[in-house]
DNA sequence: CCAAAAGTGTTAGGGTTACACCCATGT
DNA sequence: ACATGGGTGTAACCCTAACACTTTTGG
């Protein structure tokens, strides 16, 4: 069985940069590759897109298959299309980044060779994944100015210093404790919480919250703008040094490819260590966020976090 | 001649959202489609990616072929991958946005069925291009907070009110004239200019300026971070309603496809009206920007434009 | 001549920043 | 006991936002 085209087509794959926060450091989730190319190296979860799924669907599926994570919030980083980024054949990868709460991860069931690495201590990555990682970090830094994104990385209840450490980890700067707390509180999206909030089920999904937020607020928006909230796509142009502009790939490397995956075929021993062990930290007043206010937050005022 | 793969591959195309500013309104450049599908409708310049070029290279080539524009600044919006976005076959499109100065356009030579449309009066677009346009607008609004992007849309010399109108057009808000001018001037990136500056050749390219900016400033940056400046990729996840998740495309629609293009084949009558006629406006003190300061600007302080 | 746009400063108020000491907890 | 982190308030300063009249230009 084979598929023919009049002109050569690249393969399209997705990759997920998964960020997690353990109360101390920002971590990313990597998978050890079991097959060539780059066998034994670490890479982002991801795989080839099926012909009948969107890139996002593909990314969710691959992430679920490879790590057991079922993720709510997922943002596209953009397409990476260096000609020689995959030695097998021409592969264009659409990358996403994803924020997981430590609690989402606790049921790390399907985990294979997945491991968390602190963002400051990432091993050499396969393909152009180190490039993608830098994109993801700079994107995360940008996004945090427009949305209180950090919360997606925390459990339902968290201390102010956890929140501060998260912001410091993402932005790479230091804040004054009192000023940080004051500014956070005066956004109105926080409420004090008890320990028990930690166990609360995620009442309604973030997609739902976001949809509500949208309809609640913005003035001159048309029906069609709904997509803006979700399907937004943003990126700078990719100017990787394109040293070999005239490589011609044949339609030959397909035998190495599996539509179902290229990482999924890896080692079967499930390593349930797919969670950034929550570092306890000192006791402190607990906060959670007011979903109503959080939902209205972004659109009502153009608040950005700048400390 | 045909290319075969073990698994179905989507086609990959690029689209360019070209923004231009005529001193009054923000405009986008569209091309009338001469072939089905969507024959007679307007669409962004773009076309299919060759197997040996990056998405950005492809976008530049297509833009040059279809509109005669050779563009400096080009930012990736992300990949659009709805399953049914192209009726011919599965096509994943990588979209870019581009800012052109009116002067860059004056030599609109190769122009075909290209026309500028004010952003408030855009006709119905082919494919999912209206969706892409909304992405582009919201992206532009976001980006303007981090970089003085507006300048790429103006000639070398411009009046303060042109600049203000540009910001107002992009952000959709109104500013107080005096406050706007004060804030702009105190950034230090402006200098007063004479009329003659308008004719100056673009001394060195923006890529060069950006490269200089990079090396000049930021502290703890590693060599690898160079790419961050250019190849950055950013986007929210694309959640178009994916109503038909199980459509299977055959490898049949290729006869309609041309690797070289699908828009390029259109009407041949060159319409040199490929420029937003610069609306004159009243006379006023002219400004240009200090490339040195502009280059250092973003990284030195995290200045964002908020009026 | 008239209409539209350019040019020009000041002030009040809000927000940001900088800063130090005591207390509680855990080791 | 000691060290680490939690808890708390104020004052100076900068930046923002609001505001009106005169002059110039173009038609």
Nucleotides, chain C, CB distance < 7 Å: 5-10, 16-20, 25-26
Cβ of A134 within 8 Å of Cβ of B251? The answer is no
Report yes or no: B180 and B307 within 8 Å, Cβ to Cβ: yes
Residues (pLDDT < 70) of chain A are 102-112, 195-282, 298-307
- The residue to which tokens 């956004």 are assigned: A187
Distance C12 C1' – A174 CA (angstroms): 32
**Nearest beta carbon to residue B254 from set A6, A53, A78:** A6
What pLDDT does residue A251 have?
30
Both structure tokens of A237? 């142009």
Strand, coil or helix: A287: strand
What pLDDT does residue A288 have?
87
What pLDDT does residue B82 have?
95
| Pairwise CA distance, residues B88 & B47, whole Å | 14
Which nt has its C1' nearest the CA of B285? C6
Of the listed ranges A167-171, A265-269, B57-61, B293-297, the one predicted with least confidence: A265-269
Of the listed ranges A267-271, B9-13, B272-276, the one predicted with least confidence: A267-271
With contacts defined as CB-CB under 8 Å, which chain B residues touch A139? 232-234
What pLDDT does residue A142 have?
84
Which nt has its C1' nearest the CA of A160? D6
What's the predicted TM-score (pTM) here?
0.77
Q: What is the 3-state secondary structure (H, E, C) of A124-188?
A: CECCCHHHHHHHHHHHHHHHCCCCCHHHHHCCCCEEHHHHHHHHHHHHCCCCCHHHHHHHHHHCC
**Please, which residues bridge with residue A159 across strands?**
A286
What pLDDT does residue A268 have?
36
Whether omega before A125 lies within 30 degrees of 0, making that bond cis, reads: no
Which helix (H) or strand (E) element contains residue A190?
Answer: strand A190-193
| Pairwise CA distance, residues B219 & B200, whole Å | 33
Predicted confidence (pLDDT) per residue in A46-100, tens digit: 999 999 999 999 999 999 988 888 887 799 999 999 999 999 999 999 999 999 8
Report yes or no: B107 and B24 within 8 Å, Cβ to Cβ: no
Predicted confidence (pLDDT) per residue in B203-238, tens digit: 333 433 433 333 322 222 222 222 232 233 322 222
With contacts defined as CB-CB under 8 Å, which chain A residues touch B245? 52-53, 57
Segment B284-289 mean pLDDT: 87
Question: In angstroms, what separates the C-alpha of B8 from chain A's closest C-alpha?
Answer: 6
Name residues whose C-beta falls within 8 Å of residue A93's C-beta, 6 or more positions apart in sequence: A12, A13, A14, A15, A46, A79, A80, A81, A85, A127, A132
| Pairwise CA distance, residues B211 & A239, whole Å | 12
**Interface probe, candidates B224, B239, B303, chain A, greatest A C-beta count within 10 A:** B239
CB contacts < 8 A, A to B, total 296
Distance C18 C1' – A177 CA (angstroms): 12
Nucleotides, chain D, CB distance < 7 Å: 4-10, 16-20, 25-26
**Interface probe, candidates A14, A239, A242, A252, chain B, greatest B C-beta count within 10 A:** A239
What pLDDT does residue B278 have?
64
Report yes or no: B223 and A125 within 8 Å, Cβ to Cβ: no
| Pairwise CA distance, residues A63 & A43, whole Å | 12
- Contact between the CB of B57 and strand D at under 7 Å: no
**Nearest beta carbon to residue A237 from set B6, B80, B231:** B231
Which nt has its C1' nearest the CA of A305? C16
Question: In angstroms, what separates the C-alpha of B237 from chain A's closest C-alpha?
Answer: 4
DSSP type of residue A102: H
With contacts defined as CB-CB under 8 Å, which chain A residues touch B4? 2-5, 251
Which has the higher per-residue pLDDT, B69 or B136? B136
What pLDDT does residue A277 have?
62
What pLDDT does residue B236 have?
27
- Contact between the CB of B174 and strand D at under 7 Å: no
Nearest chain B alpha carbon to A135: B232
| Pairwise CA distance, residues B254 & B266, whole Å | 18
Name residues whose C-beta falls within 8 Å of residue A102's C-beta, 6 or more positions apart in sequence: A20, A21, A22, A23, A154, A155, A275, A276, A278
User: How many other C-beta atoms lie within 10 A of the C-beta of residue B231?
Assistant: 25
- Contact between the CB of B283 and strand D at under 7 Å: yes
What pLDDT does residue A206 have?
40
Residue in B36, B43, B129 with CA at minimum distance from that of residue B87 = B36
Cβ of B138 within 8 Å of Cβ of A51? The answer is no
Q: What is the largest CA-CA distance in chain A?
A: 65
**Interface probe, candidates A1, A2, A4, A9, chain B, greatest B C-beta count within 10 A:** A9
Segment B275-297 mean pLDDT: 75
Which protein residues have any CB–strand C distance under 7 A?
A 176-179, 182-183, 186, 282-283, 306-307; B 159-161, 177-179, 181-182, 281-285
Spatial strand order in the sheet of A158-159: A158-159, A286-289, A190-193
Predicted confidence (pLDDT) per residue in B81-137, tens digit: 999 999 999 999 999 999 887 666 544 444 457 888 999 899 999 999 999 999 999
With contacts defined as CB-CB under 8 Å, which chain B residues touch A3? 4-9, 251
**Interface probe, candidates A55, A79, A245, chain B, greatest B C-beta count within 10 A:** A79
Predicted confidence (pLDDT) per residue in A280-291, tens digit: 666 788 888 888
Q: What is the 3-state secondary structure (H, E, C) of chain B?
A: CCEEECCCCCEEEEEEEEEEECCCCEEEEEEECCCCCCCCCEECCEEECCCCCCHHHHHHHHHHHHHCCCCCCEEEEEEECCCCCCCCCCEEEEEEEEEECHHHHCCCCCCCCEEEEECCCCCCECCCHHHHHHHHHHHHHHHCCCCCHHHHHCCCCEEHHHHHHHHHHHHCCCCCHHHHHHHHHHCCCEEEECHHHHHCCCCCCHHHHHHHHHHHCCCCCCHHHHHHHHCCCCCCCCCCCCCCCCCCCCCCHHHHCCCCCCCCCCCCCCCCCCCCCCCCCCCCCEEEECHHHHHHHHHHCCCCCCC
**Nearest beta carbon to residue A224 from set B96, B134, B248:** B134
| Pairwise CA distance, residues A107 & A94, whole Å | 27
Judge whether residue B56 has pLDDT over 80.
yes
What pLDDT does residue A255 have?
31
Nearest chain A alpha carbon to B207: A239
Report yes or no: A270 and B23 within 8 Å, Cβ to Cβ: no
Judge whether residue B198 has pLDDT over 50.
no
């Amino acid at each position: 069985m084979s598929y023919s085209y009049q002109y050569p087509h690249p393969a399209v794959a997705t990759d997920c940069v998964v960020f997690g926060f353990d109360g101390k450091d920002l971590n990313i989730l990597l998978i050890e590759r079991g097959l060539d190319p780059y066998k034994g190296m670490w890479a982002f979860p991801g795989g080839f897109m099926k012909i009948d799924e969107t890139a996002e669907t593909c990314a969710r599926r691959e992430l679920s298959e490879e790590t057991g994570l079922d993720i709510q919030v997922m943002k596209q980083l953009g397409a990476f299309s260096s000609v020689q980024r995959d030695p097998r054949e021409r592969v264009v990868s659409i990358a996403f980044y994803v924020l997981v709460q430590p609690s989402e991860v606790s049921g790390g069931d399907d985990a294979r060779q997945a491991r968390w690495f602190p963002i400051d201590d990432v091993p050499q990555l396969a393909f152009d994944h180190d490039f993608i990682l830098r994109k993801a970090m700079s994107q995360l830094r940008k996004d945090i100015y427009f949305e209180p994104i950090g919360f997606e990385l925390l459990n339902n209840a968290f201390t102010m210093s956890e929140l501060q450490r998260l912001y410091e980890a993402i932005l790479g700067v230091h804040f004054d404790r009192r000023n940080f707390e004051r500014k956070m509180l005066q956004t109105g999206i926080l409420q004090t919480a008890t320990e028990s909030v930690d166990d609360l089920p995620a009442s309604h999904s973030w997609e739902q919250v976001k949809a509500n937020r949208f309809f609640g607020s913005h003035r001159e928006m048309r029906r069609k703008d709904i997509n803006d909230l979700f399907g937004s796509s943003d990126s700078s142009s990719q100017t990787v040094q394109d040293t070999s502009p005239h490589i011609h790939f044949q339609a030959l490397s397909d035998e190495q490819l599996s539509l179902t995956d290229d990482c999924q075929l890896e080692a079967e021993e499930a390593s349930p260590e797919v969670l950034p062990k929550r570092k306890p930290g000192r006791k402190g007043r607990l906060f959670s966020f007011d979903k109503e206010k959080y939902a209205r937050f972004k659109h009502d005022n153009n608040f950005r976090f700048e400390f």
